A = this chain, B = another copy of it.
Amino acid sequence: MIDYKALFKVSYGLYVVCSGSEENGNGYISNTVFQVTSDPPRFATCCNKENHTAGLIRKSGVFSVSVLQIDAGAGTIGTFGYKSGKDTDKLKGMNVRYGETGVPIVINDAIAFLEFRMVETIDVGTHLMFIGELVHAEVLDDEAEPLTYLYYRKVKKGAAPKNAPTYIDKSKLEKAADGKDFAKYECPACGYIYDEEKEGVKFDDLPDDWVCPVCGEEKSEFIKL
């Protein structure tokens, strides 16, 4: 028996993982970034095979990881987490630096960044795991706390998008056992759920200029569940 709620007890940070070059770069939000060996310092990150950035990492052999701060804005998370680089130039308008390998590094909302040369790609099913050797690391803000997935879910009320390793189909989570007159509304861009019961305010009573607290999507785009 698998209680999917137990999976929420596993801790993650939230990162922008970028790859490519100044001419052709892209990035996505990842929560699976972790060190695999200390000597030499190597890290792994998982990326859905469908992700535009996965192709760029394979082609360029480099990637960067920007560690997001706890107050990371909807702009950064919305752009990198819930849009596809196939449709948009996500780096346009962002504060981007280029590392010693030429890889783009997102500075917006970053408290530190790490730059890697890929040493191995492992096929783990729906996702690829990229293992990279650290070539550069820098702290940008030593005071701010890193954003964690727990904080993102609990305080920012964000959800993992379909392509994330930690995506959980809502039908697998226990349905709230109530027959009350409360509804839920889902943001079509990022999956954020507005829960009238939790918030204590009917969705219709929210001001018209209310936007999704996670990605900035307009109220009128929300879908009643």
Contacts and interface: CB of A to CB of B under 8 A. Distances in A.
Nearest to A150: B146
Interface string A109-124: 0011110000010101
A148 interface: yes
A138 B7 CA distance: 9
B41 A9 contact: no
Contacts of A134: 2
Contacts of A113: 6
A124 B121 CA distance: 11
A11 interface: yes
Contacts of A33: 10
Given A6-B112, A112-B9, A139-B9, A37 B125 contact: yes
B38 A111 contact: no
A131 interface: yes
A168 interface: yes
A157 interface: no
A42 B129 CA distance: 12
A2 B41 contact: yes
A134 B164 CA distance: 17
B42 A36 contact: no
B146 A3 contact: no
A136 interface: yes
A165 B36 contact: yes
Given A4-B137, A10-B67, A139-B3, A165 B125 contact: no
Given A2-B134, A34-B32, A134-B2, A10 B7 contact: no
A122 B122 contact: yes
A15 to B, nearest CB: 8
Contact of A34 (B12, B39, B167): B12
Given A134-B2, A138-B3, A139-B3, A126 B38 contact: yes
Chain B CB within 10 Å — which of A9, A150, A165 has the most?
Answer: A9
A2 B137 contact: yes
Interface of A: 1-7, 9-13, 32-44, 46, 65, 67, 111-114, 120, 122, 124-127, 129, 131, 134-139, 142, 145-146, 148-150, 164-168
